Structure 1
């Protein structure tokens, strides 16, 4: 455990903070990779077609590429040229079930599958806010 010690040398100790921060980041990365396929439930309106239309407008505005569109499933991809491989895709997978949406975000790369660290949380929060705003109007 890292704690404040007023008698320690000023030249040492930085490595302990660095190790602590890297350890927390590593544990968070492992957690995100282990739970990336879990679906998050978001409550939408009672109509599946309205939910799909609203989500398709949102994803088109954000610049996501439509990969698959079926009756109860939509997959949007966005390509990244940076990262671990030369071709990294971030897939946003949305299942529709009556008044609910089941959402997950998965990154798929050519050489490695790094975890999604923050963009999945932001995407899910934006979708929740989108349906909260349109549901209250």
Structure 2
């Protein structure tokens, strides 16, 4: 898990942003990602400006547009990485915490830092980590009637930003915290799963 030195829980909840002491590597890593993807977006724009729009250049034009959009999306995700997303709920805070812990167990997360207002859900994130265990961490803060959460990633060479799983996690948490939510049926075999699906 990424080192979150002296994470300030109350300040993080009040400001809706992770408040902690960043290490030098994390600062350098952030600057590197900003610089690299800003340069990529800039070069892509310059090349796009010089390409004539025609059927012959459609493939190149499409690739460059996709590269520009991807660069912008990476920069946006990195910029908002420390900002906490809010999901309100109407169930009790204890019930919300219980459901999130059960969700973590069901999806084989390593659950840590469980306290009155905080839970960390850790999962392996880098299959090419060459023996070093790297993780993606979902940090969940609890207010009286809402959770505040963000996802941060640790890698061997770079703490690259989370691109897709933040949207999947938001969808899961919204379902999980809905008053009508029921635990999914555990289907142990293909045979049982086939007959439950009918």
| Residue number in structure 2 paired with 1:52 | 97
Alpha carbons 1:43, 1:99 under 8 Å: kept:
yes
Q: Does 1:111 align with 2:154?
A: no
Tell me, which stretches of 5 or more residues in structure 1 are unaligned?
A: none
Mapping of residues 10-25 of structure 1, within 5 Å: 12-25=57-70
How far apart are residue 4 of structure 1 and its match?
6.3
Distance 1:14 1:84, change over 3 A: farther
**Larger deviation: 39-48 or 120-129?**
39-48
How far apart are residue 45 of structure 1 and its match?
3.4
More helix by share: 2
How far apart are residue 83 of structure 1 and its match?
5.2
Tell me, in whole angstroms, the C-alpha distance in 2 between the residues paired with 1:116 and 1:75. 16
Mapping of residues 80-91 of structure 1, within 5 Å: 80-82=125-127, 86-91=132-137
Look up the SS of the partner of 1:112 in the other structure. Answer: coil
| Residue number in structure 1 paired with 2:180 | 136
Identify the match of residue 120 of structure 1 among 166, 174, 177.
166
Tell me, in whole angstroms, the C-alpha distance in 2 between the residues paired with 1:15 and 1:43. 44
**Larger deviation: 16-25 or 76-85?**
76-85
Tell me, which stretches of 5 or more residues in structure 2 are unaligned?
A: 1-47, 182-198
How far apart are residue 46 of structure 1 and its match?
4.5
Write the deviation string for residues 25-76 of structure 1: whole angstroms up to 9, x where unpaired: 1111111111111111111235221111011111111111112111110011
TM-score normalised according to structure 2 size: 0.59
| Residue number in structure 2 paired with 1:74 | 119
**Larger deviation: 59-68 or 41-50?**
41-50
Alpha carbons 1:77, 1:92 under 8 Å: kept:
yes
- Count of aligned positions: 131
Distance 1:41 1:20, change over 3 A: same
| Residue number in structure 1 paired with 2:14 | none
Tell me, in whole angstroms, the C-alpha distance in 2 between the residues paired with 1:14 and 1:50. 52
Q: Does 1:94 align with 2:145?
A: no
